[in-house]
Structure 1
Amino acid sequence: MAFTQATAPTGLRTSEILSADNSIPERHIVVATLRNAAPRLGLSASVISTLDAMLSCLAPKRNHHTVFASNATLTFRRNGISDRTIRRHAATLQDIGLLVRRDSPNRKRFTKHNRHEGKALRFGFDLSPLFDRLHEIASMAAEVMKEREQIDYLRAKIRAAANASLTDNPNDEIALDIFRVLRRKLSLKDCEQILSNLPISVVDAESVDDESPVSTTTMTASDGQFVRHHHKSNKEHIDKESIT
C-alpha cells in the first residue's frame, strides 16, 4: 500500500503530509495528521494519545496493522491511565471507524499461523481502517488548518477595526465589547458575523507577494546626523486578551 501526497488547497501546505518514500507512513506523521483532523473526527487529545500508544506497539516493517499489546502494556505506555480508560478509548476508536477489535475466545491477543496455507489468524486491535483512511484524514487536516488560518486572519482584522475606533473614541462601548468577545474561542461563522455587524470601516491589508524583495529605507549621514524614522507617539490600544 503506497501513499502519495494528499490533496489540499493551493498554498496551504509547503510539505507533504504523507510521505511516499515508505509504504507505511511514520508514526509521528500519522499522529500529527490525526491531531490536526481531530475537530472533524470528534477525537479528544486523550484518545489520540491512546492511539499513539497502540501505534508504538507496531513493528516498523510489517505485513499487518494489528496491535497485540496487552492493556497493561498500553496502560504503561500511557503513563498509568486505567484499564477501563483504555477499553473506553478503544471503543471510541472503533465507533469512529479507525479500529476493529478482533477478540480471541480467551481475550488474549496473539497470532496463529498456518504455514502450510500461508495464512494467519490475528487477534487484537486491528488498525487497518486507520491506515486505509489516511488520505481522507489528511484532507480533513488540511481543511481544519485552512479554517484556522482564516479565523486568525479575521480575528486580526476585527481587532484592528476595534482599535481604530478606540483611537478616535476611547470610550467606544462597541469596540470595547469586541475586545471582550475576542477573549473567547470563536468559530469562522462567529468572526464573519462580527465583521458583518461592525459599524466602523475596515480597511483590508494590501496584497503582498511574499516572494518579492522587501523595500528598505536608505539611511544617509551628513555632519554626524542621521535621517531617522519617526513613529507616532500614540500607542495602539492593547487589550489584555488571553490566548485562545
Structure 2
Amino acid sequence: MKHASQIQFGRPVEAVQNPSPQEGPDKWELLKSLTDTAGEFDLSHRTLSVLKALLTFLPTRHIPRGLAAVVFPSNKTLSDRLSGMPESTLRRHLTKLVQSGIVSRQDSPNRKRYARHVGAGVAIAYGFDLAPLAAMHTDLTTLAQRARAKRDQLLALRDRVLCLRAAVIDLQGQSPLTDHIARLARRKPEEEALMKAHQDLTDLVDNHPTSAPEANELSTSDNQNERHIQNELKYDLDPEGTDTQMAAHAERFDAENGKMISLAEVIERCQAYKGFFPNIVRSWRDIISISDRLAPMVGIDQPVMHQAKKTMGAEATAVVILCILEKMESIRSPGAYLRHLIKVAMSGNFSILPMLRAVKSGNCQLTT
C-alpha cells in the first residue's frame, strides 16, 4: 500500500493519473448555479469562495464519481489558496458547507485527510466528498434558472421605478418620496418595496394636474391611436404643405445610403416613451429632447450620449434611445449596449433601419 500526501496533491492519485472528464457535471457550472441560488442555502460569498477552493483540487472540470470525488487538502493548504484566510474562519465556512449538505466530510481515525491506494485503485479516501454537490446538479439548475428570471424581473421593475421617479421630479421636483426611492434603488431589489414605490409614483404621475389630460389621451381607444398615426402619415406624404405642424411631422433624416427615416415611423414604432413624456411630439427636436432626458433614466451617462451624437448624429442617437427603452427588459446594461453601438458605427457597420424595424417584430436583437 502507498500513502498519497494531501500536502503535495490534495487529490487521490487515481484521479490525477486517470481522469474521466465526462463522468459528472461541470464543477464551475455547478458553482455558478449555487452562487445564483445562495440565498436558498443561506450561503455567504466567503463560504462559496471556500467551496471554489475545494473544487480547484479536482484536476478536471467535471466532478468524477466514487472516491475520486474526495479532495483532501490540509487546512494550511486551503488557507494558502484562499490568500491567507485564518484557519478559524476557514473551519467555520467548511462546517457551513457540510451542514448545508453541499459536501460531506469523511474523517480518518486521526482526523487527517489523505487517500490510501491498493495497486492502481483508491481503497479509501478521507477528506471532503464533493459527490453531494454533483448529485444536486438537476435541482440546482432549475433553482438557478428561476432565480435568474426573478432577478431580471426585479431589475426591470427597478428600472421602471427609476424612470417614474425621474418623471415625478420633472413634474414637481424632488421630495422625501423621490429621495427614499433613490436609496431603495441602491439596495438589493425587493419586490414588495419596488411594487409599492411603482404604485406610489404612478399615482403621482396620473394625478398631477399637468399630466392628467395626457393620461386621458393615452387611455383612449385603439381606433383613436390608429387615427393619430394615420394623421401623422398623411403629414409625412406632403412635406411641402404650408401647415407648419404638418411639415414638422414630415421631418425626415437620411439614415444611410439615401434611405430616409420619417418622424411618423419613429412615433409609430416607439411607444414606450409616451409613458413618461405623453405630450404630442411635433418635430425631431422634440424627439432629441426626450431622448436626452430618457438617457440618464435608463442608466446612460452624458459622455456616452455625447459620443453617440458625435458618431451617429443627434437624430439617429435619439432613435436608438427610444428603441432601447422599448427593449429594456432584454438589455441588461443600456450604457454598455450604446457604447457597443458606437464602436460598430465607428467601424462603418452600424445600420439604424433594422434596429427601428425590429422593435415591433418581437426580436430582442435590435441590430443586424
* TM-score in same-fold range (> 0.5): yes
* In structure 2, distance between residues paired with 1:40 and 1:220: 50
TM-aligned CA deviation for residue 119 of structure 1: 7.2
Do the aligned partners of residues 177 and 57 (structure 1) sit closer, same or farther apart at CA in structure 2, a change above 3 Å counting? closer
Aligned match for 1:121, one of 114, 119, 124: 124
**1:84 equivalent among 84, 88, 104:** 88
For residue 73 of structure 1, what is the aligned residue in structure 2? 77
SS at match of 2:105: strand
Give the aligned partner of residue 5 of structure 1: none
For structure 1, which runs of at least 5 residues remain unmatched after alignment?
A: 1-20, 205-216, 222-226
Pair 1:232 & 2:289 matched: yes
Separation in structure 2 between the aligned mates of residue 84 and residue 172 of structure 1, nearest angstrom: 48
Q: Distance in 2 between matches of 1:177 and 1:69?
A: 49
Larger RCO, structures 1/2 (Cα 8 Å, 6+ apart): 1
Deviates more, 1:170-179 or 1:35-44: 170-179
Matching residue's letter, 1:43? L
Residue 112 of structure 2 contacts residue 126 of structure 2 at CA under 8 Å; is this kept in 1?
Answer: yes
1:193 counterpart residue number: 196
* 1:75-224 paired onto structure 2 within 5 Å: 75-113=79-117, 120-198=123-201, 199-201=203-205, 218-219=253-254
Once the two structures are superposed, the pairs formed by residues 20-31 of structure 1 within 5 Å of their partners are 22-31=22-31
65-74 or 176-185: which moved more? Answer: 176-185
Number of residue equivalences: 202
Q: Which runs of 5+ in 2 are unaligned?
A: 1-20, 207-214, 219-251, 257-261, 263-282, 300-368
Name the structure where helix makes up a greater proportion of residues: 2
Residue 101 of structure 1: how far off its partner (Å):
0.8
TM-score, reference length from structure 1: 0.70
72-81 or 166-175: bigger deviation: 166-175
Which residue in the other structure is 1:57 paired with? 57
TM-score of the superposition, structure 2-length normalised? 0.48
d(CA) in 2 for partners of 1:119, 1:180: 56
How far apart, CA to CA, are the structure 2 residues paired with 1:172 and 1:57? 55
Query: Which stretch shifts more, 26-35 or 193-202?
Result: 193-202
User: Which structure's CA Rg is the greater one?
Assistant: 2
Deviation by residue 1:16-68 (Cα, 9 ceiling, x = unmatched): xxxxx933333332222221121222111111111111111123275431011
TM-aligned CA distance change 1:220 to 1:72, over 3 Å? closer
Residue 162 of structure 1 contacts residue 178 of structure 1 at CA under 8 Å; is this kept in 2? yes
- Give the superposed CA RMSD: 3.3
The answer as to whether partners of 2:164 and 2:198 remain within 8 angstroms in 1 is no
1:234–1:54 distance in 2 versus 1, CA, 3 Å: closer
